[in-house]
Amino acid sequence: MQTSFSCGYASLCGGCDLISKPYDTQVSMKTEALRSAWLKALPEGPALPEVNWIKVAEGGLRDRVDLMIDQRSGSYKLGLFDSARTGLVDLENCPQLSPELEAWLSDFRKLQIPVQRGSVRLRVSPKGLRGVWLDLANVDVKMLLDERTTLDQLRSQAIVEIGQRRKRLVERDGQLKLADPQMEPWFETYTDQGVVPLYCAIGSFTQTGFRANRALVDEVRRLVRKTGARTAREFGSGIGNFTFPLASVCEKTRVFEVDGLALEGLRRSSHDGGFDERIEINEGNYQVARKTPVSFEGTDLVLVDPPRSGLQQFLTPLESLAQDQRPKHFIYISCFAESFALDAAKLVQMGFELRETSIVDQFPQSRHFEIVASFTRA
């Protein structure tokens, strides 16, 4: 089956490295990449079960995009690295973006931010609010504040965060000032009871788009309901994308997160959504056991969504528990097959069995994919 996805930058841009492949071939390549990582981590262990493939669409899935500015060569470029990673491809449009985000990109390009180099995050909210984070050097931030014209034009179109500390741009007493980020419902998640707005900053981590995230959350909710768990612990909760689906099914959910700004948004979302009685929020670096000792007592289900580096020391406390003291269910969400497979090998050694594995294809035309896996204590 040939892909129906097309792009005028296909031979230049490095963002979609599988765009020349038929979609069926992409499915096979990604599934094989997961199987290969599993076999490498567990050469003598159990075979990877049949992988459930969840397709959302072949494009138009992004409501958030990170781009780069570079005009050191004398011409203004806003885009992504080329396929050889030697320079930028100036992107006037991108079929990976939702219509709302593509319209925002078109308007943003007209401003041509006067810096030599920097990074830009553009996003739109579920209700159409526009946001931009200009990740620039301090000297460029000062220059733009002094120049003011560019930032005034930008503020007329969007909420602006600027600088490596993600300060919000505000006007006070006729002057532009840098203030702490203000939480807005930039994202959303889904429960059996409906949509939950997720408050965060423009620069906060979220999944890349609403449609693909709904497919991802629906798969997690399905697996959570299947466990029948009543108590849950979530590690790496972020702004709560999986927290509220968990809390809508389980009677009590304890969450752990190290990012204070993410927790600020999580608390706001929990309070506004009426989840405060069902969610207990803890702050700490759960990946380093000596910094935040992890207790699994009285836990039916553990849900983790770690960064690409994986769980690191998180699983260490499980090793000291007797088999019947370990949580019965373990749901692992990952965007990196290699670290997922290494952590899965540790879980298998501790008596967990991989029951279901799904790939949610929220990054079509690229080698990236999202894994959702469900383990059960043997």
Residues forming beta bridges with residue 51, ordered by sequence position: 357
- Check pLDDT > 50 for residue 377: yes
Instruction: Tell me which of 149, 184, 219 is where a domain ends.
Output: 184
Mean pLDDT of 98-123: 97
Q: Are residues 233 and 277 in the same domain?
A: yes
- Based on the structure, what is the number of domains in the chain? 2
Burial label for 49, CB within 10 Å (0-12, 13-18, 19+), is middle
The whole-number pLDDT of residue 218 equals 98
Q: Does residue 277 lie within any of the structural domains?
A: yes
What whole-number percentage of the chain has pLDDT above 70? 97
**CA–CA gap between residue 376 and residue 161 (Å, rounded):** 43
> How are strands ordered across the β-sheet holding 130-135?
88-90, 77-81, 64-70, 117-124, 130-135, 159-162, 167-172, 175-179
pLDDT digits (tens, 9 = 90+) for 86-102: 999 999 999 999 999 99
Q: Are residues 34 and 82 in the same domain?
A: no
DSSP 153-221: HHHTTSEEEETTTTEEEEEETTEEEEE----EEEEEEEETTEEEEEEE-TTS---S-HHHHHHHHHHHH
The whole-number pLDDT of residue 4 equals 59
Q: Does residue 15 lie within any of the structural domains?
A: no
Q: Are residues 214 and 362 in the same domain?
A: yes
The whole-number pLDDT of residue 320 equals 83
- Check pLDDT > 70 for residue 293: no
Q: Does residue 98 lie within any of the structural domains?
A: yes
Grade residue 313 by pLDDT with cuts at 50, 70 and 90.
confident
Grade residue 1 by pLDDT with cuts at 50, 70 and 90.
very low
Q: Are residues 212 and 158 in the same domain?
A: no
CATH code of the domain containing 46: 3.40.50.150
Grade residue 2 by pLDDT with cuts at 50, 70 and 90.
very low
Question: SS3 for 90?
Answer: strand
Grade residue 129 by pLDDT with cuts at 50, 70 and 90.
very high
Q: Are residues 177 and 245 in the same domain?
A: no
Grade residue 290 by pLDDT with cuts at 50, 70 and 90.
low
Q: Are residues 33 and 172 in the same domain?
A: no
Q: Are residues 248 and 103 in the same domain?
A: no
- Check pLDDT > 80 for residue 355: yes
**CA–CA gap between residue 43 and residue 336 (Å, rounded):** 19
Q: Are residues 174 and 113 in the same domain?
A: yes
CATH code of the domain containing 141: 2.40.50.1070
Mean pLDDT of 336-340: 97
- Check pLDDT > 50 for residue 288: yes
Q: Which two tokens stand for residue 234?
A: 């979530």
Q: Are residues 220 and 369 in the same domain?
A: yes
In order of 15, 82, 106, 162, the CA distances from 91 in angstroms are 11, 11, 10, 22
CA 160 to chain centre: 21
- Check pLDDT > 90 for residue 130: yes
Q: Are residues 148 and 242 in the same domain?
A: no
Q: Which of 16-30, 88-102, 310-324 has the lowest mean pLDDT?
A: 310-324
Of 154, 150, 181, the C-alpha closest to 165 is: 181
Of 249, 239, 212, the C-alpha closest to 329 is: 249
Residues forming beta bridges with residue 360, ordered by sequence position: 54, 370
Residue of 302 and 3 predicted with greater confidence: 302
Q: Does residue 33 lie within any of the structural domains?
A: yes
Stated length of the chain: 378
Q: Are residues 239 and 287 in the same domain?
A: yes
- Check pLDDT > 70 for residue 136: yes
- Check pLDDT > 70 for residue 193: yes
Q: Does residue 328 lie within any of the structural domains?
A: yes
Instruction: Tell me which of 184, 217, 240 is where a domain ends.
Output: 184
Mean pLDDT of 210-234: 97
> Domain range for residue 144?
64-184
Active centre residues (catalytic): 335
Q: Does residue 7 lie within any of the structural domains?
A: no
Backbone angles phi, psi at 189, to 5 degrees: -130, 180
- Check pLDDT > 80 for residue 295: no
Of 365, 313, 311, 319, the C-alpha closest to 338 is: 311
Q: Does residue 189 lie within any of the structural domains?
A: no
- Check pLDDT > 80 for residue 199: yes
Residues 6+ apart with CB under 8 A from 228: 300
- Check pLDDT > 80 for residue 287: no
Residue 145 belongs to what H/E stretch? Answer: helix 138-147
Dihedral over alpha carbons 61, 366, 307, 89 (to 10 degrees): -90
Q: Are residues 167 and 259 in the same domain?
A: no
**CA–CA gap between residue 278 and residue 274 (Å, rounded):** 9
Instruction: Tell me which of 115, 150, 184 is where a domain ends.
Output: 184
Q: Does residue 223 lie within any of the structural domains?
A: yes
- Check pLDDT > 90 for residue 264: yes
